[in-house]
């Protein structure tokens, strides 16, 4: 379980998060949703210890994230940010291999290579294994970044807008892989703008607005018309189609 208490974050003298209190259930998929500028990515970065808090605490289990040594945290938690920058002349294999660094320290074993090959295959990137990143499409690079994050082999996986640049087929593939990780007992947190995807795949939803938590809980408690209409300040309709929630504006 990840517990966030009274978290406040200021970036470039601009308050982004204000007294955020929330809990992320262990072993489930949690979707962070909300309008642009709500603070979703900042909250994810704070949980990943990539953004410093002005006030408040974040705990993994009963341990404050500030008490983890860097390597220990890297063995427990992996994060993919929206603005991840990588050298363009890396191959897909090189990039995904970086995910094993907390385990291998640059001296990969056969087990590390097997893990890299497996996640490349699961992400349907095998044919691009030896291609340089700057020869790939935006969606192919996005899948390679997700593969690197999953190759880290952590119990907690944080993905910031993982569906960016992905077509319909590969977006579905990424979400199925995320669910497979949850079924292995992992905790997955994703920032999502597609509420239909959030309603179809997530177990738990945290809805943010104006730098704080507006609603949270199981999918049915958040992905519904009253909550979403208030969250986005626009009329929203939620249609149940064979157990999947389809969210549209009206």
Which pLDDT score, from 0 to 100, does residue 105 have? 86
Which pLDDT score, from 0 to 100, does residue 250 have? 86
- Per residue in 18-65, pLDDT (tens digit) is 999 999 999 999 999 999 999 999 999 999 999 999 999 999 999 999
| Helical residues (DSSP H) of the chain, grouped into ranges | 40-47, 70-76, 92-98, 101-104, 110-122, 138-151, 168-183, 195-201, 219-222, 225-232
214, with CB counted inside 10 A (0-12, 13-18, 19+), is middle
Q: Write the DSSP symbol of residue 193.
A: S
Which pLDDT score, from 0 to 100, does residue 1 have? 94
Spans of the chain below 50 pLDDT: none
Which pLDDT score, from 0 to 100, does residue 244 have? 84
Sequence-separated (6 or more) residues with CB below 8 Å from residue 35: 209, 231, 232, 233
Q: Which residue has the tokens 């500030």?
A: 66
CA pair distance 38, 43, nearest whole angstrom: 10
- Options 3.40.50.150, 3.40.50.1100, 3.40.50.970, 3.40.50.300; CATH for 2-249 is 3.40.50.300
Can you give the residue ranges of every domain in the chain? 2-249
- CB distance 144 to 174 below 8 Å: no
Q: How many helices (H) and strands (E) does the chain have?
A: 10, 12
pTM: 0.95
Sequence-separated (6 or more) residues with CB below 8 Å from residue 105: none
Which pLDDT score, from 0 to 100, does residue 10 have? 96
């Amino acid at each position: 379980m990840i517990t966030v208490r009274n978290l406040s974050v200021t970036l470039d003298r601009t308050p982004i998060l204000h007294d955020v209190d929330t809990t992320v259930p262990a072993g489930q998929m949690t979707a962070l949703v909300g309008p642009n500028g709500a603070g979703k990515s900042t909250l994810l970065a704070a949980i990943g210890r990539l953004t410093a808090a002005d006030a408040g605490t974040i705990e993994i289990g009963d341990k404050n994230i500030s008490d983890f040594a860097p390597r220990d945290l890297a063995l427990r938690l992996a994060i993919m940010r929206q603005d991840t920058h990588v050298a363009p002349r890396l191959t897909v294999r090189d990039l995904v291999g970086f995910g094993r660094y907390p385990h291998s320290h640059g001296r990969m074993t056969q087990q590390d290579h097997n893990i890299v090959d497996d996640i490349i295959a699961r992400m349907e990137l095998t044919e691009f294994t030896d291609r340089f990143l700057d020869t790939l499409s935006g969606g192919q690079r996005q899948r390679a970044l997700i593969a690197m994050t999953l190759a880290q082999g952590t119990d907690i996986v944080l993905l910031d807008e993982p569906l960016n640049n992905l077509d319909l087929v590969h977006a579905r593939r990424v979400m199925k892989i995320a669910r497979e990780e949850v079924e292995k007992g992992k905790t997955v947190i994703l920032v999502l703008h597609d509420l239909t995807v959030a309603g179809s795949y997530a177990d738990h939803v945290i809805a943010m607005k104006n730098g704080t938590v507006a609603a949270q809980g199981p999918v049915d408690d958040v992905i519904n018309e009253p909550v979403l209409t208030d969250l986005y300040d626009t009329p929203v309709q939620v249609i149940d189609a064979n157990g999947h929630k389809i969210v549209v504006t009206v």
